Chains A and B, each alone.
Chain A
Amino acid sequence: MEKAKISAYQLFVLILLFEHGTTLLLPLAVEAKQDAWLSVLLGMVGGFVLFWIYYGLYQYYPDNLPTEYVQKIIGKVLGRLLGFFFLLYFMYIASRDLRDFGEMLVTVAYPDTPLFIVSALLMLVMVYTVRKGIEVLARTGELFFIIVYLLAITGFILIVASGLLNLTNLKPVLEEGILSIMKITFTQTLYFPFGEVVAFAMILPYVNQSKKAKVAGLFAIGLSGINIAIITVLNISVLGVDLVSRSPFPFLSTIQTIRLAEFLERLDVYFMLTSIICGFFKISVYCYVAVIGIADLFNIKEPSRLVYPIGIVILFLSITIASNVSEHIKEGLQIIPFFVHLPLQVVIPLLLLIIAFFKNRKSR
């Protein structure tokens, strides 16, 4: 473990930026049509429960990283193996997100630039950051939190002011009943983005106020859930269900429709700035978590030395995980949630919590 401490507020900011990471980019719960925002809010409630599980585990072992306490809960060999799986998972998701951003940039702004170059640049900045450690990452987060919120508020005002908001697009509410929304929640929004908070199980031991960490985490999930729901509402009410479901980057399409005072138009950069900042934090957190996890699992004294190799691994993984965009998105929507997210975000932590509960009761 790195000798560093972050405050509860910094944890809050990091989770918030992390949650916004790729959700600004990709369409969310499109199958729920105009009720996508309800599905997001339900996912947020699920996110509360998941965070409560991770926090419960943290409370049993407040000074240990998950890679350490897993070994205490289910034994050395199995624990190490499981910890290793978690690290692979973090690196895999980091590379998926990196791919998302690379594809976005190539599609939107730089059609002639190779994907590898675009991703490599982003990775370079992240490697530089992760090398500095969690404290610097958290402090940077605090600054960008202010910037992102200023951008969000001005963006919201611009959308409303240009008269694009058409709330009738949101009706009818609950057209297909609550059950279908529940189904979409449990197949999509619960895992992405809310279940991804599992990465913060690795960061919780760094928080210096452990009581406040719970409140901060829950608040961050709640606020980001509301923000994401607002973004979904904006997308649907501006573009309509049909356009949202066909657009690869619905939020970008929404922002592109802004036209105000004959000169504020085509604000692609606005979207790029916000989404890259949030995505930067998401991938950096995954990358950082992978680095400290590996350093802990393999007893490496200086985690910062691992940053370059792991950064390169994530970069190459992001190029090789899929041969094209549609393959990449199909994997993300149909395979990953059930075979990767569900066990690693929900089932295993829950089992660990139960075992830890019995183990610690016995020892007391």
Chain B
Amino acid sequence: MPSFFKQRKKKTNSEDHKESGRDQPNNRSLEFIHDSISINLDMIKQKTGNSSDIVIRTLNISLHSEIKTAVVYVEGIVDSISINDFLIESMMKNHALQEKLTRENALEVISNNIVALGSIKLVSNWEQLLLSLMAGETLILVDGTNEALSVGTQGGETRSIEEPSTQVAVRGSRSGFTESIRTNTALVRRIIKNPDLWLESMKIGKATQTDVVIMYINGIANEKIVEEVRQRLKRINIDGILESGYIEQLIEDQTMTTFPTLYHTERPDMVAGNLLEGRIAIFVDGTPFVLIAPTIFIQFFQAAEDYYARFDIATALRLLRVIIFFISIIGPSAYIAATTFHQEMLPTQLLIAISAQREAVPFPAFVEAMIMEVTFEILREAGIRMPRAIGAAVSIVGALVIGQAAVQAGIVSPAMVIVVAITAIASFATPSFAIAISARLIRFLFMITAATFGFYGIILAFIMLTVHLCDLRSFGVPYMSPFAPFSPKNAGDTVVRLPWWALKQRPPFISNENNIRQGKDQKPHPPTNRGMVNSHTRKSDQNES
């Protein structure tokens, strides 16, 4: 009961908060820009706390220099070359037009005849003015008018397009997303050159005003899911969005699970492939990781390369990855169960070998496994966070401590080292880090059940895990589809990948009714009679000769 009241209280609090948040901009938007430029500039200085990166350049234009204007921008987030060349220079040196200039038509003349930049717009209230200033636009203020011009000069230093570091492919595009949202959307648009590729922008985060873009292909994406994504994004009321992980955690279907219900990728080709299947991509400014919704479980076993490699190879690799996932979950627990409860299952000689090794080990198998697993997790965490220069030291210590010293000291048995090593490598081989890390957590749960109830415990935990997976949803799509609920039409691109000509349809639970991907009979039909081709070439050869 107390929890009930607590919740209610919270709810009203957040509502109040929202209202106050809504009121503020309204109050501010009432303050229109003043006529006098000096008051305006003072206002800007005051609002920004006289920050040192805000550049205010006052100019006197027109023939007799009687019109005072000012150019205001934030240094570092603007393209200073274009401001100097196309804005300030042309404003100062355009003598022909300066004759025409009067106070009344100044803004019009500047925007129509002077500024040689693409995007330009009029702003009249302070909120808009400051937002566009902070977004990297350049403001032009003119004395005597209560409006200002805002010129699109976003720029500054960004990282160039590099190869994605988390999803490497042997074959396939080498470009990965960067931190700039415009570059990222452009990378996808370069792949899908289609007017139906629609973008919807919004700003999320009261303090950070982060750009968030929803991208989908109109006519392929399911409108209901697009609307749901829109609604969930609009609900977000938070001070800042620093990475797509914020968005992911605020819009996911279920929080109490170790499994990711939204996919994230660094590869433009993967985003394009998912858009073509009817999914929706969510770009967030400032991060190379793009979210993809709705997500199903099997997506985490698909690599971009699967679609470029031939189908038999892709299928073999997919099956391997599923097996790897199982190994990384139940590897150590199966060893614990077999050595503690079900010795009869092991072949006699192996059993003798293992028990001979374990003779000197003072701990039960579970403690042994825990020591090794925790040690390994520590090493892995250390390997990720520490400076690169010390990396070699850690790997030497790790190899010696885990591989040799622990065995020689009689703390663990060599068989245990093998099991932990295989499990560790298996968890690295899973293509998606997000699912590998959840397998890491679940592994410990399985180890506990195995230590208390042997294989019975493992089976029960496995059933429970499956029930949990079947319970999950991602934007209304069951997580385990197309296996549960089973739909044979979609099963072609899951643990197996059929040849491209056999993948005729998009997954119907994700895309809308328009789900035919290809024309009829796309199977290649090379001429069956090889001699015919040869005779044709031979004939042409003869002709040439």
Contacts and interface: CB of A to CB of B under 8 A. Distances in A.
A345 interface: no
A137 B464 CA distance: 11
A47 B486 CA distance: 26
A310 B468 CA distance: 21
A110 B467 contact: no
A304 to B, nearest CB: 12
Interface centre among B454, B463, B480, B486 (most CB of A within 10 A): B463
Contacts of A132: 467, 470-471
B455 A10 contact: no
A122 B480 CA distance: 23
Contacts of A122: 460
Contacts, number: 88
Given A139-B470, A139-B480, A7 B485 contact: yes
B345 A109 contact: no
A228 interface: no
A142 B480 CA distance: 10
A220 to B, nearest CB: 14
Given A109-B341, A121-B460, A136 B470 contact: yes
B431 interface: no
Contacts of A257: none
A53 to B, nearest CB: 29
Interface stretch (A72-80, A264-272, A324-332, A347-355): A264-272
A144 B459 CA distance: 12
A268 B345 contact: yes
Contact of B342 (A10, A109, A121): A109
A179 interface: no
B484 A139 contact: yes
B460 A125 contact: yes
A266 B486 CA distance: 34
A178 interface: no
A269 B484 contact: no
Interface stretch (A153-161, A273-281, A311-319): A273-281
B344 A143 contact: no
A129 B342 contact: no
- Chain A contact residues (Cβ within 8 angstroms of B): what range? 35 or more
A128 B467 contact: yes
Nearest to B481: A139
A97 B331 CA distance: 31
A276 B456 contact: yes
Given A9-B486, A139-B484, A142-B484, A105 B463 contact: no
A146 interface: yes
A263 B478 contact: no
Interface string B476-504: 00101001111000000000000000000
B453 A143 contact: no
Contacts of B518: none
Interface string A9-46: 11000000000000000000000000000000000000
A140 B454 contact: no
Interface string B225-264: 0000000000000000000000000000000000000000
A121 B453 contact: yes
B455 A272 contact: yes
A52 B467 CA distance: 31
Interface string A135-177: 0111111111010000000000000000000000000000000
A143 B342 contact: no
A118 interface: yes
B480 A143 contact: yes
Contact of B456 (A110, A138, A139, A262): A110
SS of B interface (majority): helix
A269 B467 contact: no
A338 to B, nearest CB: 34
B36 interface: no
B301 to A, nearest CB: 15
Contacts of B456: 105, 109-110, 118, 121, 272, 276
A265 B454 CA distance: 18
Given A105-B456, A266-B344, A277 B463 contact: yes
Given A262-B347, A268-B342, A272-B459, A140 B453 contact: no
Given A136-B471, A139-B470, A143-B480, A265 B463 contact: no
A96 B231 CA distance: 49
Contacts of A110: 341, 453-454, 456
A109 B343 CA distance: 11
B514 interface: no
A283 B29 CA distance: 64
Contacts of B466: 140, 143-144
Interface in A235-269: 262-263, 265-269
A109 B454 contact: yes
A291 B96 CA distance: 88
B455 A143 contact: no
Contacts of A142: 483-486
Interface string A90-122: 000000000000000100011001000010011
Interface centre among A9, A105, A141, A142 (most CB of B within 10 A): A142
Nearest to A110: B456
Nearest to A129: B467
A143 B467 CA distance: 10
A139 B483 CA distance: 8
Contact of B470 (A113, A140, A277, A280): A140
B485 A139 contact: yes
B485 to A, nearest CB: 6
Given A105-B456, A110-B456, A266-B345, A280 B471 contact: no
B131 to A, nearest CB: 45
Contacts of A144: 463, 466
Interface centre among A7, A9, A139 (most CB of B within 10 A): A139
A277 B459 CA distance: 8
Contacts of A276: 456, 459-460, 463
B486 A269 contact: no
A219 B344 CA distance: 39
Contact of A273 (B454, B459, B478): B459
B34 to A, nearest CB: 60
Contacts of B464: 125, 128-129
A146 B470 CA distance: 14
Nearest to B464: A125
A140 B465 CA distance: 10
Interface in B282-302: none
A269 B485 contact: no
Contact of B455 (A7, A113, A125, A269): A269
Nearest to A267: B345
A151 to B, nearest CB: 12
B485 A263 contact: no
A333 B484 CA distance: 37
Nearest to A141: B484
Contacts of B455: 109, 269, 272-273
A333 B204 CA distance: 68
Contact of A140 (B344, B459, B467): B467
Contacts of A262: 347
9 A-B pairs closest in CB distance: A139-B484, A139-B470, A142-B484, A263-B347, A140-B470, A129-B467, A136-B471, A269-B455, A143-B484
19 contacts: A105-B456, A109-B341, A110-B341, A110-B453, A121-B456, A121-B457, A122-B460, A125-B463, A132-B467, A132-B470, A138-B484, A140-B467, A140-B484, A146-B483, A265-B347, A266-B345, A268-B342, A273-B459, A277-B463
Given A139-B485, A269-B342, 7 more contacts: A125-B464, A129-B463, A138-B484, A138-B485, A139-B470, A139-B478, A272-B459
Interface of A: 7, 9-10, 105, 109-110, 113, 118, 121-122, 124-125, 128-129, 132, 136-144, 146, 262-263, 265-269, 272-273, 276-277, 280
